[in-house]
Structure 1
Amino acid sequence: MGISVAVKYNWRKELNKSDCYQIDIRVTIDCIPKYYPVKVPQKIPIWDWSGDAPLWVKNTNPFAFAVNNEILRVLGVINDLQNRLFLQKRKLNFHLLDRELGFTGNRQSFNDYFRNYIKNPPELVKDLKDGTWEKYTSFLGHLDKFNPRLRFDQIDVEMAARIRNYISRQPGMKKGTKMAPASVKSLFDKFMVVLQHACDADKLIEKDVVDDIAKKVFVTVPDRQDGLHWDVIEIQNLKKIPLSALESSQIRDRKLFLLQIYGSWYYSDLIYMRRSDVHIDHEFGIYVAGARNKNEQPRLVPLWKFPEAEAIMKEFEDPDPKSSYWFRRDAFVEGQTYNRNLKVLADMAGVYREVTSKTARHTGMTLMARMGVQYPALKKIAGQKIRDIGRTYIKMGIREIVDATELAQFDKLGI
């Protein structure tokens, strides 16, 4: 039992006409071997192989220097990993070794470490949605522009603050604006996640430094401006717009906007809604469960409270039962196009405040609260983390949601 490492030549005992064969590093953990090929310009002839360190390949081979150095490099990577794990009182395993040997770039470079984190993420975060990984990639793009070769030993409170400030100065979605604080926070959070992982898993930065950054460098997101939601009368006016006054795309987007309100959803929540998330309860009707695409938090949305919700859900359902998404793809347009249609619909409904696809989520949550739905049911419907004052998680199932929304009679509002 234990760990052994050896350099092997033609370990499969193959025979070919050229007499040129592969070099591998054999790692044996608890009597189980695994072979890792050494990257070489070409396979090595048998007459150029000595098998003795550090000149495994004889100098008669034109690639001897490069190949011997590559063998030494791989052995060094394995040795460094073993030393780090020893200090952490952890044991080497093939999963850790695969990840280490698959690392590209300089391990002391935070940029390279971040890039490899995205390429080969830890098991705990492998199942994050594409939208979340896009934020990691976006942060890396900003980091490479800020400093393409940032080393771990350069990262401290001041450097973290400079990174945060650099991101906050980047252009926002609207011309002439800077990135919104919520977007800055979302990107900076990804920086902290990877930095914490580098500290905990690989000991590449001191824990005190990471803790100090977490305590002193943060992004303040202002409270959301009141009045961004639509009132019930405004929703009613939206529904009263005659079909004859609308184009087909506006009819479609009015229905999707209403559905967003019913579910307290962002537009992206509709786009990425999985078929497996939609359920029909035999007693109450249609509801949506499962994790939100944005934050992976579980939700439970009682669409049965809204008389028209089920019809809209079924109208835009993907007819292909094998599709992993509930809605057919042609129901959606680019965000800017959708927002333009909403602006036209808002004007026709007599709503002259700014309106975007996000307005529907604010409206839905405000409506739920206004009709008496309280925490923690409101959090569960919105897909936000729920804790009680004892810092333990509260379970909210269908029965709890039914009880919490009993007094909310949305059908009487005519929306």
Structure 2
Amino acid sequence: MGVSIKAVHNWRNVLNANGRYPVHIYVYIDGPGEKYYPVKLPQKPSIAEWGGVGPAWVKPTSPYAFQSNKVIQNTIDKITAVHKRMVDANRKLAHYHIEKELNFKGTRIVVNDYFKNYIDNPPELVQLEESTWEKYASFLQHLNKFNPKLRFEEIDVEMAARIRNYLAAQPGIKTKTMAPASVKSLFDKFIVILQHAANEDKLIEKDVVDQITRKVFVDVPDREEGLHWDVIDVRNFKKLPEFALQPSQVRDKKLFLLQIYGCWYYNDLFYMRRDDVHYDHEFGMYVTGRRSKNEVPRLIPLWSYPDAEGIMKEFEDADKKSTFWFRRDAFVESQTYNRNIKVLAEMAGVTREVTAKIARHTGMTLLSRVGLQYPALKKAAGQKMKDVGGVYIKMGLREMIDATALAGFEKLAI
């Protein structure tokens, strides 16, 4: 792929009264085309002060020549580094990658800076609730106290364990030390950042991240009974007669059932991409993709539930060019959605806790109860899989088909 990078002076070729003009870095990429990135200099050079050739773009006649040339060189180096990372990853360079790099604040090799930029400028596919972003910010605060300048090259299994232990020793809201569930919630955010740094920017080896996820974990006591619905609750919810419901209630009833079928959060539906939805000619519809929460690949066998495909198609965006599978008007604010579900649950006689998040826990519980094998269960849930020896288990479409064939989904009758 052809890429051209160079510093240019007064690229618009417009004269002004003071005779000083901005400097931009011109970048041309085959396909996307050209773009000019401004360089912030201590003083704009005049035409007489502009040499035009590096490393002395600004002539020594300018009192700011040294500082200006250094800034220009640093900007070009950043763009070149982005290009190299894309080439090494066998990916196509885009202006989006350059803009993200130039807007990066701090030093990329420092975990704290990388973490902060991830929060301030998250990847386009990462869409999380405000409460989740607060947990990212909370972990960063702890990390800054642990080590304000932790470098990626310092991270290994031992360092990750030290960070986990540091979190575990911090005061909790109502306890002397942080609860295990809180430690896990924060430490999981650290793992997400490491996975992103490994997959997207090659700042840490994937093998190192894999070792950390296998060996450094937080034991969390089993949750109290009630944080999921039993199958009878789901059946009663599904049996609610649609003729007795408002159109918005019918819509949210179907979406909630779909959440259960796919072990999804409500946001997972909203941001489901069209190219993640697939159809096997023999078995039916299934969904792939990565969980935005931890970037772990998923494979969800919707063919296991008779009504899942129908709901998917009912709310599909008619515009086939849309990035997302579902049409935007199928969704309401989370608070409204939760309120609607609670009303429906009361009508169905459900006495357990009722929130949109319960659907994911319910779906995972039901998959376990029908006997879905452990590797397939973890793959559908979007969690890392390992066997007793710590070796990751392959779980592709063929393996998922075999696993669901052995499970007793028909017993659920939902």
TM range (shorter): 0.5 to 0.7
Distance 2:8 2:289 in 1: 51
Distance 2:197 2:320 in 1: 42
Task: Give 2:380's aligned residue.
Answer: 381
Distance 2:293 2:118 in 1: 20
Distance 2:302 2:382 in 1: 14
Residue of structure 2 aligned with 1:71, choices 69, 73, 83? 69
CA contact (8 A) 1:20 1:43 kept: yes
CA contact (8 A) 2:286 2:302 kept: yes
CA contact (8 A) 1:300 1:381 kept: yes
Quickly say closer, same or farther: Cα 1:120–1:330, change in 2 above 3 A. closer
Q: Deviation per CA, 1:125-169: give whole Å up to 9, x if none.
A: x78634499967974588589979x95289999x96899589987
Distance 1:105 1:193 in 2: 20
1:365 is paired with a residue of what secondary structure?
helix
Distance 1:68 1:187 in 2: 42
Find out whether 1:43 has 2:45 as its counterpart. yes
Aligned-pair CA distance for 1:256? 0.9
| Number of equivalent positions | 362
Q: Which amino acid aligns with 2:67?
A: N
Aligned-pair CA distance for 1:318? 0.9
Alignment of 1:5-404 (within 5 A): 39-40=40-41, 41-46=43-48, 56-58=59-61, 64-71=62-69, 102=102, 107=107, 114-115=115-116, 129-131=126-128, 139=136, 151-152=148-149, 164=167, 181=183, 183-189=185-191, 221-390=220-389, 391-398=391-398, 400-404=399-403
CA contact (8 A) 1:254 1:342 kept: yes
Aligned-pair CA distance for 1:364? 1.4
Greater gyration radius:
1
Aligned-pair CA distance for 1:102? 3.7
CA contact (8 A) 1:132 1:294 kept: no
Q: Which amino acid aligns with 2:349?
A: G
Distance 2:395 2:367 in 1: 19
Quickly say closer, same or farther: Cα 1:371–1:77, change in 2 above 3 A. closer
CA contact (8 A) 1:146 1:166 kept: no
Q: Which amino acid aligns with 1:365?
A: M
Quickly say closer, same or farther: Cα 1:292–1:165, change in 2 above 3 A. closer
Q: Which amino acid aligns with 2:314?
A: E
CA contact (8 A) 1:99 1:120 kept: no
Task: Give 1:207's aligned residue.
Answer: none
CA contact (8 A) 1:135 1:187 kept: no
1:405 is paired with a residue of what secondary structure?
helix
Q: Deviation per CA, 1:75-102: give whole Å up to 9, x if none.
A: 68999xxxxxxxxxxxxxxx9xx89994
Aligned-residue sequence identity (percent) comes to 47
Q: Deviation per CA, 1:192-221: give whole Å up to 9, x if none.
A: 679999xx959xxxxxxxxxx99xx98665
